[in-house]
C-alpha cells in the first residue's frame, strides 16, 4: 500500500502559539510593579498601586504588541550590524514615545487636571526608567524570536534529513532489485540448455521469489528472520543450479531473529558468497550464515569455505582485504544501506583467507514491535 511521504516544511502558524506564557509574564510584571509602588517611601494604597501598575504595564503590553505586529509585517532583509542597531534605536524611540503618551492620557483620566504633578522633579528619571524597561522587554522578545527561529530551523533540518534518507532508500531499492533479478536470471540461463525440466522448476521458484522481493520493497525495516526467509528462498533456487556443490548452514540465535534490520540486508552478501565463493569451483563449498546478539549489538557473519583441493580465489573476486572493504556492486549497496539506516553506528568488514571469505556485519539492536 502506498504511503504518504509528504513533509510539511512551511512555518508553523503564529496563531497556534500558546497565549498563556505572555499572560503570565505581564500579570507577574504588573503584580511586582504594584508591590514596588506599595512598599516604596510613598507607600501607595494597594488599590492605587495596582491601578497604577496595571496602567503602566498594560500600556506597555499594548505597545509591545504593536511592535510585534511591526516585526511580522516588516520585509525580511539581511542588514549590516550598524543598520540593525540604528533601526532598533529608532523603533525604540517611537515605541517609548507612544507608550509614555498613553501613560499621560491614562493619568489625565484617572488622576485629573493635576496629573502633571506626578512627573514634577522626576521626569528624566521616569524617562530613563521607561527606556530601561522597554529595552529589557524588547530584549526578551528578540531572544524568544531567536529561540523560535532556531527551533524552526532544527525542525526543517530534521525534516529535510528524513526526506533525504527516504529518497536515498528509494534509490538504493531501485539499484538493488535489478541487481537481484539479474543474478537470478543468470542462474536460470545456465540451466535452460542443460536441464530444461529443472529450468522450468526454477522459473516457478523464481516467480515466488520475485513476488517476495517486490512485495517488501517499501518496507523501512523488517525482522531479521524475514530477511533470512528470503535468503533461504534464494539459496533454494541456487541449489537447483549448483546441486551438491552448494551446502548451507544457518546458526541463528533466537534473540537475533526479532531484531529489526533494513530489508535485503543479507541478500547481496549471500549472493556474493555463492557467486564468487562457490559457483566458480568444482568441489563442494559451504555457506554459513550466523547471527547473535551481544551487548545490544547484532553480529551477523556470512562465510563461504571450500575444500583445500579447490582452486584458490581468482583475482577478479569482489572480496578484498578487510581494509579495502570490497568493491562488488552488491556489497556497495549493502554499505550504503547501512550508512543510511545507522549513520556511523554500524560496522561492515570483509576478510579473505585461503579457502574462502567472511563478511561481518555489526549493527545496533532494535527489537521488532510485532508480537
CATH number, residue 227:
3.30.565.10
- The reported pLDDT for the residue numbered 1 is 40
What are the grid coordinates assigned to 357, written together? 571469505
Query: Would you put residue 213 in left (φ > 0), alpha (ψ -120 to 50) or beta?
Result: alpha
What domain count does the chain have? Answer: 2
pLDDT for the residue 31: 86
Are 110 and 168 within one domain?
no
pLDDT at site 293: 94
Which residues of the chain fall short of a pLDDT of 70? 1-18, 41-43, 74-80, 115-116, 118-121, 160-184, 187, 212-220, 307-330, 367-371
Could you give the C-alpha distances from 137 to 57, 64, 328, 351, in angstroms and in order? 11, 8, 63, 65
One domain, residues 40 and 175: no
Residue 116's pLDDT is what? 67
238 and 315 within one domain: yes
Residue 126 placed within a domain: no
Strands 246-252 and 285-294: parallel
**Residue 208 and residue 340 share a domain:** yes
Instruction: Supply the pLDDT for residue 334.
Output: 80
pLDDT value for 291: 95
- Residue 183 in grid coordinates: 543474478
Q: How far apart are CA 158 and CA 87, in angstroms?
A: 33
What are the DSSP E strand ranges found in 217-263? Answer: 222-223, 246-252, 260-261
pLDDT given at position 118:
67
User: 157 in a domain, yes or no?
Assistant: no
Q: Is residue 141 situated within a structural domain?
A: no
Does the model's pTM come out above 0.85?
no
- 89 in a structural domain: yes
> Do 108 and 189 belong together in one domain?
no
**Statement to judge: residues 354 and 300 lie in one domain:** yes
Task: Domain of residue 184: give its range.
Answer: 163-364
Amino acid at each position: 500500500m502506498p504511503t504518504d511521504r509528504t513533509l510539511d516544511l512551511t512555518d508553523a502558524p503564529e496563531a497556534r502559539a500558546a497565549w498563556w506564557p505572555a499572560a503570565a509574564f505581564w500579570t507577574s510584571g504588573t503584580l511586582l510593579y504594584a508591590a514596588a509602588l506599595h512598599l516604596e517611601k510613598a507607600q501607595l494604597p494597594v488599590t492605587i498601586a495596582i491601578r497604577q501598575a496595571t496602567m503602566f504595564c498594560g500600556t506597555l503590553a499594548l505597545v509591545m504588541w504593536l511592535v510585534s505586529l511591526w516585526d511580522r509585517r516588516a520585509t525580511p532583509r539581511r542588514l549590516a550590524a550598524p543598520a540593525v542597531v540604528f533601526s532598533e534605536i529608532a523603533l525604540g524611540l517611537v515605541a517609548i514615545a507612544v507608550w509614555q503618551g498613553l501613560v499621560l492620557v491614562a493619568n489625565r483620566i484617572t488622576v485629573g487636571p493635576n496629573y502633571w504633578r506626578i512627573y514634577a522633579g522626576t521626569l528624566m528619571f521616569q524617562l530613563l526608567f521607561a527606556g530601561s524597561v522597554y529595552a529589557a522587554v524588547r530584549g526578551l522578545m528578540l531572544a524568544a524570536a531567536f529561540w523560535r527561529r532556531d527551533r524552526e530551523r532544527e525542525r526543517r533540518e530534521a525534516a529535510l534529513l528524513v526526506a533525504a534518507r527516504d529518497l536515498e532508500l528509494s534509490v538504493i531499492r531501485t539499484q538493488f532489485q535489478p541487481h537481484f533479478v539479474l543474478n537470478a536470471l543468470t542462474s536460470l540461463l545456465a540451466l535452460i540448455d542443460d536441464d530444461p525440466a529443472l529450468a522450468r522448476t526454477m522459473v516457478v521458484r523464481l516467480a515466488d521469489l520475485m513476488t517476495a522481493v517486490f512485495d517488501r520493497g517499501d518496507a523501512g525495516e523488517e525482522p531479521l528472520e524475514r530477511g533470512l526467509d528470503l535468503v533461504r528462498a534464494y539459496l533454494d533456487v541456487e541449489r537447483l543450479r549448483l546441486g551438491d556443490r552448494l551446502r548451507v548452514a544457518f546458526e541463528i540465535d533466537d534473540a537475533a531473529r526479532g531484531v529489526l534490520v533494513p530489508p535485503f540486508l543479507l541478500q547481496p552478501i549471500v549472493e556474493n558468497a555463492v557467486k564468487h565463493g562457490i559457483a566458480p569451483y568444482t568441489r563442494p563449498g559451504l555457506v554459513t550464515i550466523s547471527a547473535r546478539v551481544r551487548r545490544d549489538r547484532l553480529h551477523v557473519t556470512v562465510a563461504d569455505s571450500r575444500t583445500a583441493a579447490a582452486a584458490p580465489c581468482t583475482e577478479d573476486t569482489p572480496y578484498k582485504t578487510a581494509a579495502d572493504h570490497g568493491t562488488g556492486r552488491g556489497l556497495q549497496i549493502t554499505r550504503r544501506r547501512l550508512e543510511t539506516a545507522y549513520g556511523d553506528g554500524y560496522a561492515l568488514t570483509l576478510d579473505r583467507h585461503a579457502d574462502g571469505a567472511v563478511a561481518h556485519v555489526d549493527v545496533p539492536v532494535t527489537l521488532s514491535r510485532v508480537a
